[in-house]
A and B are shown apart, each in its own frame.
Chain A
Amino acid sequence: AQKITQTQPGMFVQEKEAVTLDCTYDTSDPSYGLFWYKQPSSGEMIFLIYQGSYDQQNATEGRYSLNFQKARKSANLVISASQLGDSAMYFCAMREFGNEKLTFGTGTRLTIIP
């Protein structure tokens, strides 16, 4: 069964610093995808970045990068040069290929301090 663990319920980071949000996962399927979503206080879910289990390189999207360590089953999100607008809940999610279910972690609340 697929499972996602986010061990940081909350983080405070100084503006302009880099921040790493932790995510570990568990699956017995060799084919899967990992996703990060941002949920601001307004409530919508915003897709940030995707990493496939067979991708050779770590995914990057602007200031977001995914530190994918397959052997350790971790998929940490790195946000460079944090901004006040980055304050939000961040969810890690995983789907095993061929499985419709997208499993979410419990999230990390990130607060950027001016």
Chain B
Amino acid sequence: NAGVTQTPKFRILKIGQSMTLQCTQDMNHNYMYWYRQDPGMGLKLIYYSVGAGITDKGEVPNGYNVSRSTTEDFPLRLELAAPSQTSVYFCASSYKLVHEQYFGPGTRLTVT
């Protein structure tokens, strides 16, 4: 049982480039989330999903897209990277909406 896994761990992008952050969970959780954590701050919700085929915007969705074709996977897409997207990105999952969320190890992204 690996929990929540994220790839890559680190990435440097040039302005305007695109990339996909991968997230997979093996706990059969319906709920999955993407957060970003800026230096010295708490986490902010980017997108979330309540099940396969269902996604919705969180607090800071601009510049990102998601899809949820399976229960296990919840990739986050950055289409035109900007320096403001330099952050640490966390994927999380939970069994129910009110339950605790389990987090992946994070992806540190730098856009220059």
Contacts and interface: CB of A to CB of B under 8 A. Distances in A.
Contact of A43 (B44, B56, B105): B105
Interface residues of B, number: 27
Interface in B83-100: 88, 90, 92, 97-100
A101 B59 contact: yes
Contacts, number: 61
Nearest to B90: A45
A43 B89 CA distance: 11
A91 B105 contact: no
Interface stretch (A65-73, A77-85, A102-110): A102-110
A37 B103 CA distance: 10
Interface residues of A, number: 25
Which residue, of B41, B100, B108, has the highest number of chain A Cβ atoms within 10 A? B100
Contact of B56 (A95, A100, A103): A100
Contacts of A107: 40-42
Which residue, of B41, B59, B108, has the highest number of chain A Cβ atoms within 10 A? B41
A47 B100 contact: yes
B109 to A, nearest CB: 13
Contacts of B59: 101
A37 B98 CA distance: 15
A103 B45 CA distance: 8
20 contacts: A43-B88, A43-B106, A43-B108, A44-B103, A44-B104, A47-B100, A47-B101, A47-B103, A93-B42, A97-B98, A100-B97, A101-B45, A101-B58, A101-B59, A102-B33, A102-B45, A104-B44, A106-B41, A106-B42, A107-B42
Interface of A: 4, 33, 35, 37, 42-47, 50, 52, 91, 93, 95, 97-98, 100-107
